[in-house]
Amino acid sequence: MRRLWALAVVPLLVATPASADLADFLGKPVARVVVEVEGRPVNDSAMLALLVSEAGKPLRMRDVRASVAHLFSLGRFADVVVHAAVTANGSVSVRYELIPIHEIERMQFAGLAGVAGVDEAAVREALVERFGALPPATRATEMGAFVAEQLQERGYRRASVSARTQLEHTAERSTLVFEVTSGPRTTVSEIRVVGTGMPPDQVIRRLGVARGTAYEPGLLAGRLERIVDTLKQQGHYNARATVTPQFSEDDRVASVLVSVAPGPKIRVEFSGDPLPPDRRDDLVPVAREGAADEDLLEDSAQRIQEFFRSQGYRDATATFTRETQGDDLVVRFTMSRGPLYRVARVDIAGNISLSTSDLAPALRLRDGQVFSAAVLSAQASAIQDIYARRGFPAARAVPDAQPLENPPGPQQVLVVVRIEITEGVRTVVGTVRIEGNTSLATATLTEGLGLQPGEPFYRTQLVIDQDAIQLKYANAGFRSATVSSSPGLSEDGTVADVRFTVEEGPQVFVDHVLIVGNRRTNTDTIRRELQFKSGDPLGLAAIAESQRRLATLGLFRRTRVTELGHGTETSRDVLITVEEAPVTTIGYGGGLETKPVLRGSAAAGGFASEQLEFAPRAFFEVGRRNLFGKNRSVNAFTRVSFRPQNFGGQSTSTAAGGYGFSEYRVLGTYREPRVRNTAADAFLTGTVEQQRRATFNFARRAFTAELLRRITRQTSVTGNYQLQRTELFDERIAENDRLLVDRLFPQVRLSSFSLSAIRDARDDLIDPTSGTYLSANAQVAGRRIGSEVGYLKSYWTGQLFRSVPELHRMVVATSVRVGVASGFPRVGTIVDDEGKEVSATVRDLPASERFFAGGDTTVRGYALDQLGTADTLTGGFPKGGNALVVFNAELRLPVGRGLGLVGFFDTGNVFARTAAIDLGQLRSSLGFGVRYRSPVGPIRVDMGFKANRRPGEDPTAVHISLGQAF
């Protein structure tokens, strides 16, 4: 059946034209409009919606053109043909015939099997690499020629390939059949080697050819290249090799002449003043480039000279000579550094309006430093720029360097650097005018400009502002708007009446928005991320932002926004092409966590000591996104840690000894984006977990409903409600020493609302090098909303990251975390030491909600949760507190190959009450660490040293984990 279709198309291609006058159709009422794909009517409402021609309206060519453009823009059709016919009642029927592209889904080769030396799979792979996985059938001829080339490369010089497409009309795909006639294979009849670089036998052996073997030009060229590489590695940098075949008339045999010209062996030598060995390859890249031509050598000499001059050898020279020694060519660089120049002092003169401290950012040469003319010149330019920014457009800074008469030694010269400044007049912006703007208001255009009345006039800012105005026009759809500027300087140069002149040109509007490529994703899901709609001005910023938003949806492998013009210059269709990503994601991994933990048991009257614990851990994650085509998603995350049972005297509730699943976390999340057509995303999360802390273990089941509203790209607010049930077990503090709340509520139900605001301006979430992170959270739990314990809790975080390019891109990272909480009083009944029931007032938070500190993400000189004051520690074991303060500072230095070194200072503590916060009681640690940038984030090894160690405490703590500390 498919073959019959192919046959049916052929007569159509040779059908004879029939002429008609358009006037016969135009203006007549349209009786019906049909769309057909290869004879099949199209009922897809989305596609039909692209038609502008409508039944009942007069036929207009404008509508026809727009319809053709929209249908063609879908990218699925090789042609769109519009037919019209006058019906019996005088109206017109219109038929849009769509001819599919027929992507090639399958390729078949006839005549290739058994062709010696040709691997069908390799040819297939080469075709996919060149033409893509689903090339259009229109490229069939080109693909046939490519297959013929592949055969010719393998010695079938007379190979011919015809490519025939078999169309499939149901799926609009096709099969491409290559009919291959390979012809005879050319064999090598003779091989001769001329040249001296390598013994002929060795050349022939390395080429892998002999009399009677197949002549394969591609293979020969590759092997010959390797021979040349070998010669270059031996120092023959000018080596050349060629293969010249001579074919018999019938192309059956080839006489091959191989010419190897190694050229001389080139040696690079250095004489005169020494050049550091580790800089030689960079400055004279003869071996790296595999070349020693005149240009490269001249550039090398120049680089050596500049290198020495930048080191303070102002008079340094470097020359090179070529000398033939036997078969070798010796290139010798001769360096003469001359004396070392040092800066004796720097004099700045002529600066009246700006003080020397104002110019300090530009001053890079300082007393005692080596002198560099290039640095001095850059310094003068920087001073001029500072003046220009302050409104002195004519300011000039002329550098000069004069040697002192009595040098400290024969090889040292002291120079006095002098920069003579001529300030000129100061220019202030008088007025800022914009002319020629009719579509955009002057106030809109002047908003945010750098040049404002009363401010210094800076010529570079004039150009920046000119571009800013032009961008505003481009964002409003005026793509060809031009803006020119004039500084309008007064005669004495003190006032600049700045004028911008606008030539607006036409405004371009969005005609239709076409969305293609989405099979599972609902079109509305895509459309609501677009920052433009039909009829809007086609602005640059709107397109860029739309593309960004589509990318952040996470639903697509690729997205492309293309503008399509069709006749009129003032409107364009916008085609959104998406390639959907797989909907199911699976992630898994494992690792080893190493950290110090407290051992011993206060319940047994012991004192806490630290011990290193190794804990294998693993996670598994499965997610399904784009549910119902609406970008909804569900995720399930499971993490388990295998921790030693009965480690260091701590027993878990299960068994003693060995490893067990003492920690786990199972998390299921459902995400509903833009809930009820608002800008907020909703999350429903269920959690089941068990965790081990320093003085207790807990098991928790929680349900959370959260709304997240992104205010800007960096700022978001979230509100959530959480209902949880937490059970404490394996407590390692004697009951009488426990806080009252833990004794009253070993199992507690908490119901809370919380509100958070986050501003995240970091450049990278996992390993930031610049930016800031600020967050504030407030949580309230109360009995009126179903909680057994009520409290107020707030947590604040501020982090700052700065890169220092001058210090090998070192990153300075700092963090401040503050937490405060207060429990609502609640009266409960407990049994006292004498066995009597007494009432007591609870004011603390439950253990699972109290603050703890110490460990790999807080203060790294301490074990997990180890910090506390006398009020929050019992025998060295932490009970947790209602207030927390933690400061961190880190220097992160990349050292190459993904490795980095870190030095850190951490300080912090946990306090029983907010009022008990005492910065004098902060406990500190200093330390260093190593980072390795792995594909899953930085692998971290930190070693912290306690700064004010107490008796019984270990001096150090080692942590191995994933991700930065903060």
Partner 1 sequence: MRRVVRRVIALWTVAWCAAGVPFVPEAPAVLGARTQQPRTRGEEVIDRMLAVVAGDLIMMSDVAAAVEFGLVPQTAGPDVNRTVLSQLIDRSLMLAEVDRYAPPEPSRDAVDREFASVRERFASAESFQEALARYGVDDASLRATLRANLRLRAYLAQRFSTVPPLDGEIAEYYRRHLDRFSRGGQPRPLDEVRADVIQALELDRRQTMVDDWLAALRRRVTITDVYTPGLH
Site mask, partner 1, residues 34-53, x = CB under 8 A?
-----x--------------
Residues 6+ apart with CB under 8 A from 787: 749, 750, 751, 752, 781
| Two structure tokens written together for 722 | 């959480």
Question: Which of 46, 48, 81, 895 forms a contact with partner 1 (CB under 8 A)?
Answer: 81
Task: Report the nearest approach of partner 1 to the CB of residue 545 (Å).
Answer: 20
**Residue list 538-577, contact with partner 1 (CB under 8 A):** 562-570, 572
d(CA 520, CA 632) in angstroms, rounded, equals: 12
Nearest residue to 493 (alpha-carbon basis) of 423, 585, 594, 418: 423
Q: How far is CA 218 from CA 189, 222, 327, in A?
A: 18, 6, 32
Instruction: Give the total of residues touching partner 1 (CB under 8 A).
Output: 58
What is the C-alpha separation between 693 and 819, in angstroms, rounded?
A: 19
Could you give the string, one character per residue 788-827, with x where binding to partner 1 holds by CB under 8 A and - elsewhere?
Answer: ----------------------------------------
Pick the closer one to partner 1 by CB: 446 or 571: 571
Stretch that binds partner 1, among 85-93, 413-421, 528-536, 648-656 (CB under 8 A): 85-93
Distance CA 815, CA 965 (A): 10
Site string for partner 1, 328-367 (x = CB under 8 A): ----------------------------------------
Beta strand extents in 713-809 (DSSP E only):
715-729, 747-760, 771-781, 791-804
Nearer to partner 1, 12 or 870 (CB): 12
Compare residues 292 and 561 and give the one whose CB is closer to partner 1. 561
Q: What is the DSSP letter of 556?
A: E
Q: What is the DSSP string of 37-101?
A: ETTEEP--HHHHTT----TTSBP-HHHHHHHHHHHHHTS-EEEEEEEEEE-TTS-EEEEEEEEE-
Min CB(141)–partner 1 separation in Å: 13
- If the CB atoms of residues 500 and 852 are measured against partner 1, the closer one turns out to be 500
Q: Is-contact 135 143, C-beta < 8 A? A: yes
Q: Is 95 in the site for partner 1 (CB under 8 A)?
A: yes
Instruction: Check residue 65 for interaction with partner 1 (CB under 8 A).
Output: yes
Would you give the DSSP letter of residue 278?
H
Residues numbered 114-143 forming contacts with partner 1, rule: CB under 8 A:
138
Task: Tell which one of 60, 139, 332, 674 touches partner 1 (CB under 8 A).
Answer: 60
Among residues 865, 849, 860, which one has the least CA distance to residue 887?
A: 860
Distances (CA, A) of 633 to 114, 555, 801: 52, 10, 33
Residue with smaller CB distance to partner 1, 118 or 575? 575
E strand or H helix that includes residue 279:
helix 277-283
Question: In whole angstroms, how close is the CB of 27 to partner 1 at the nearest point?
Answer: 8
Smallest distance, partner 1 to C-beta of residue 39, A? 8
505 makes contact with partner 1 (CB under 8 A): yes
Q: Residues 444, 482, 585, 691: which binds partner 1 (CB under 8 A)? A: 482
Q: How far is the CB of 363 from partner 1 (least distance, A)?
A: 41
Residue (of 939, 932, 942, 928) closest to 898 by Cα position: 932
Task: Name the residue nearer to partner 1 (CB basis): 80 or 542.
Answer: 80
Q: Give the integer Cα–Cα distance in Å for 8 and 16.
A: 16
In whole angstroms, the minimum distance from the beta carbon of 147 to partner 1 comes to 23
* Interacting residue with partner 1 among 28, 42, 55, 93 (CB under 8 A): 93
- Residue 19 interacting with partner 1 (CB under 8 A): yes
Provide, rounded to whole angstroms, the least separation between the CB of residue 128 and partner 1: 20
Pull the structure tokens for residue 926. Answer: 């200093």
Closer residue to partner 1, CB minimum distance, 78 or 838: 78
Q: Is residue 871 classed as helix, strand or coil in its secondary structure?
A: coil
User: Which of 298, 467 has the CB closer to partner 1?
Assistant: 467
Q: Work out the angle between the directed axes of helices 120-131 and 140-153 (0-180°, nearest 10).
A: 130
Does residue 16 touch partner 1 according to CB under 8 A?
yes
Q: Which DSSP helix (H) or strand (E) runs through 547? A: helix 540-552
The widest CA-to-CA distance across the chain, in whole angstroms, is 118
| Closest distance of CB 495 from partner 1, Å | 29
- Candidate segments 64-72, 297-305, 373-381, 904-912, binder of partner 1 by CB under 8 A: 64-72
Phi (first) and psi of residue 287, to 5 degrees: -70, -40
x-or-dash pattern for partner 1, window 137-176, by CB under 8 A? -x--------------------------------------
Q: Tell me which stretch binds partner 1 (CB under 8 A): 23-31, 322-330, 335-343, 723-731.
A: 23-31
- Tokens representing 856 are 């790999």
Structure tokens at 692: 């081990």
Strand partners, 719: 707, 755
What residues between 571 and 610 interact with partner 1 by CB under 8 A? 572
User: Does 86 help bind partner 1 (rule: CB under 8 A)?
Assistant: yes
**Which of 159, 147, 157 is closest to 122 using CA atoms?**
147
Stretch that binds partner 1, among 67-75, 256-264, 647-655, 695-703 (CB under 8 A): 67-75
Q: Which stretch binds partner 1 (CB under 8 A): 9-17, 338-346, 620-628, 695-703?
A: 9-17
83: contact with partner 1 by CB under 8 A? yes
63 scored as a contact of partner 1 (CB under 8 A): yes
Residue nearer to partner 1 on the CB measure, 74 or 243: 74
Sign of CA dihedral 138, 142, 145, 150: negative
Under the criterion CB under 8 A, does residue 61 sit at the interface with partner 1? yes
The one-letter amino acid at 295: D
Q: How far apart are CA 487 and CA 847, in angstroms?
A: 69
- Between helices 294-310 and 373-389, what is the axis angle to 10°? 70
Exactly one of 196, 480, 841, 948 binds partner 1 (CB under 8 A); that residue is 480
Place of tokens 């210094």: 456
C-alpha count within 13 angstroms, C-beta hemisphere, residue 647: 23
> In the complex with partner 1, which residue's Cβ is closer, 94 or 883?
94
- Residues making contact with partner 1 (CB under 8 A): 12-13, 15-20, 22-27, 39, 60-66, 68-69, 72-73, 78-86, 93, 95, 97, 99, 138, 479-482, 503-506, 562-570, 572
